[in-house]
Amino acid sequence: MYKPKLEKDIRCPLEYGLDIFGGKWKSRIICVLNFKGTVRYSRLRKDLANITDAVLSASLKELIKDGIVRRRQYDEIPPRVEYSLTDLGKSVLPIFQSICR
């Protein structure tokens, strides 16, 4: 059985950041939420062309779990759910902008 050489608690900050923001879609989701503000799932899906519902849903769940994205559900008929960046999510934007430069 494979055993990692380093425990999860002894990772470098870059590896931790890539674990949270890595992948094809997470950084794009963060950028769309930054540009659009608070959006509903369907709007987010339209803005992220070529993403499947399963991947978008999984990525949003991971970002919510990590405290980057806030999910707000309203008790209405039909149900309305909105997504936005948390303060922690907004704090990573300068890092993204620095990488883009």
pLDDT tens digits, 60-91: 999 999 999 999 999 888 889 999 999 998 98
Query: Which CATH number goes with the domain that contains 36?
Result: 1.10.10.10
Residue, of 99 and 38, whose pLDDT is higher:
38
Q: Is residue 75 part of a domain?
A: yes
Q: Is the pTM of this model over 0.85?
A: no
Task: Tell me which of 6 and 88 has the higher pLDDT.
Answer: 88
Segment 32-39 shows an average pLDDT of 92
Q: How many domains does the chain have?
A: 1
> How many C-beta atoms surround the C-beta of residue 67 within 10 A?
12
Q: Is residue 68 in a domain? A: yes
Q: How many Cα neighbours within 13 Å face the side chain of 17?
A: 12
Which structural domain, as residue segments, surrounds residue 60? Answer: 13-100
